[in-house]
Structure 1
Amino acid sequence: MSRRKLGEKQLDSEAHETPFHVLHKLPPGDSPYVRAKHVQLVEKDPDAAIVLFWKAINAGDRVDSALKDMAVVMKQQDRAEEAIEAIKSFRDRCSRQAQESLDNVLIDLYKKCGRIDEQIELLKQKLWMIYHGEAFNGKPTKTARSHGRKFQVTIKQETSRILGNLGWAYMQQGNYLSAEVVYQKAQIIDPDANKACNLCLCLIKQTRYADAWSVLNEVLQGKLVGADDPKSKNRVEELLQELNRCQSEKLSSNSLGSKIEDAFLEGLDQLMNQWTPFRSRRLPIFEEISPFRDQLAC
């Protein structure tokens, strides 16, 4: 038997030996929450999963997870406003430990709905909790998940992440000065290429091109985390083009302004030359002012 067939046979054997709920990353049992997860992950029926998550919440079955999972599925189904109301209505049934993760879900939902003011207030609240030592339930690190993998997040990393989100929210409001201040603080705590690019854009929007070049140069020199990432490289290329375009427009604008000023002065000279020879070439308003100016000079 070939190695390939042996490998396939071994995988099939392991699949049969592995319990169904482990294989599909489901919790064990047959409770309302477990059925909701089965419908969500195995049957791929989000609408039916939402109904079952509601039943789990009302039955008091793993309410922390049921509410968060339901909100995430609602967001995926473009029902973010409903998800916001659900969290606000039922979060008092959740444990204290679940509140922070619910806030994170709310922030994403506010962003999805364009409710920027509420997003900013919640981000500020999370920063306040970090400042007062209330984040991560008083622990220096927390376990987070991303694409099925677990990893540890430090307070320092979380602070920088929240500041980055706050800066982005300010940018959506067009408040580039506040966004700049926030990104500057985030870069002091935990610098990376993505936030540097956002900071650069804030400076461009304020026509502070020299400062923008300085920030972008740090990314170009590969000094920041993520500078070699393909997305960061594409972003840097876009910002370079934007900087060059803005500076070119500024030069053109200055040149155009000079041409307009020259044309205005030339036209003014022509207008004044039309005055009769016995009249002063100064406009009447200057004639009226002159006697007072001469008296003051005396």
Structure 2
Amino acid sequence: MTRQRKESEAPYHHVIHKLPPPGDSPYVRAKHAQLVEKDPEAAIALFWKAINAGDRVDSALKDMAVVMKQQDRAEEAIEAVKAFRDRCSKQAQESLDNVLIDLYKKCGKIEEQIDLLKQKLKMIHQGEAFNRKATKTARSHGRKFQVTVRQETSRILGNLGWAYMQRGNYVAAEAVYHKAQSFDPDANKACNLCLCLIKQTRYAEAKSVIDDILQGKLLGSDEPKSRNRAQELLRELETCQSSSMFSEPSGLSLEDAFVEGLDQLTSQWTPYRSRRLPIFEEISPFMDQLAC
């Protein structure tokens, strides 16, 4: 390996191997406490110090929230993110929203989670997400990769569908999952869609979704976790079909305008009618309903 290659990989070595970055600033000491000393309380205190000192505030706030969540201090983490996100850069706001969504999920704050997910969809509609570009660069475990607007929209809709499922709103969740699958289908969202259909006693449709997963027609179908879950759903489906104790179909308990807005979304790219990407035009009818 040449010296040049070693130098090019150096900035990401500590990320890949979960090592603290070099230096002796409050943020560096916080990461050392978190990753090396395995002392979360000391790490949280040092992250606070880094935020107050203006030392890598974007990273310090996000990292502190993650550690707080791991320590079952999610409520405190929510308040911290809300209180100090105005000190963070504009580029960090989207990832802070994602941190908040995870914290809301941890605390069981379903309504707050739904509101924030709708807000993120509205940002896509208004062209504020991705800086009007078709893709954005994301990073996981020190590696960069590209995420498209369609993939991000599908991910947000998938999270929204899950939130509605936690509220017992299976009709709403089904509508959201169908739309998410039209953007970027995968086996995980298909499993959740299947469960929504089972809860509504629509067994034939649920069986069709399970068959698509088990036959490997969807992205992620070959992953053991997805196949195992599909097989579990199949057993649940067979039990429900053979039982005389059927549940009544869930009623439509969410705002009608929301579901109607989802139904109005087209499955094809619409022509450019503004400077926004086609995905922004495609989601426009849905966002118009949300604004009512």
Q: 1:186 maps to which residue?
A: 180
In the TM superposition, 1:24-35 aligns within 5 A as 25-35=19-29
**C-alpha offsets along residues 18-51 of structure 1, whole Å, 9 cap, x if unaligned?**
89x8576433322111111111112111110000
Residues 39, 45 of structure 1: 8 Å contact kept = yes
Structure 2 letter corresponding to 1:121: D
Residues 57, 67 of structure 1: 8 Å contact kept = yes
Which protein is bigger by CA-based radius of gyration?
A: 1
Structure 2 Cα separation of the partners of residues 210 and 148 of structure 1: 44
Matched, 1:214 2:208: yes
* Residue of structure 2 aligned with 1:204, choices 194, 198, 202: 198
Q: 1:71 maps to which residue?
A: 65
Structure 2 Cα separation of the partners of residues 41 and 247 of structure 1: 50
In the TM superposition, 1:140-289 aligns within 5 A as 140-250=134-244
Gaps of 5+ in 2: 1-5, 247-292
Looking at secondary structure, tell me which structure has more helix per residue: 1
Gaps of 5+ in 1: 1-13, 254-298
Task: Using the TM superposition, give the Cα deviation of residue 109 of structure 1 relative to its aligned residue in structure 2, in angstroms.
Answer: 0.2
Task: Using the TM superposition, give the Cα deviation of residue 152 of structure 1 relative to its aligned residue in structure 2, in angstroms.
Answer: 1.7
Structure 2 Cα separation of the partners of residues 64 and 182 of structure 1: 32
Higher relative CO (CA 8 A, sep ≥ 6), structure 1 or 2? 2
Secondary structure in 2 matching 1:89? helix
Q: For this pair of structures, how many residues does the alignment match?
A: 235
Residues 19, 32 of structure 2: 8 Å contact kept = no
Task: Using the TM superposition, give the Cα deviation of residue 146 of structure 1 relative to its aligned residue in structure 2, in angstroms.
Answer: 2.5
Structure 2 letter corresponding to 1:163: L
The percentage of aligned residue pairs carrying the same residue is 79
Secondary structure in 2 matching 1:199? helix
Secondary structure in 1 matching 2:243? helix
**C-alpha offsets along residues 121-169 of structure 1, whole Å, 9 cap, x if unaligned?**
1011111111221112333222223334332211111111111111011
* Residue of structure 2 aligned with 1:95, choices 89, 92, 99: 89
Q: Structure 1 length as normaliser, TM-score?
A: 0.75
Secondary structure in 1 matching 2:63? helix
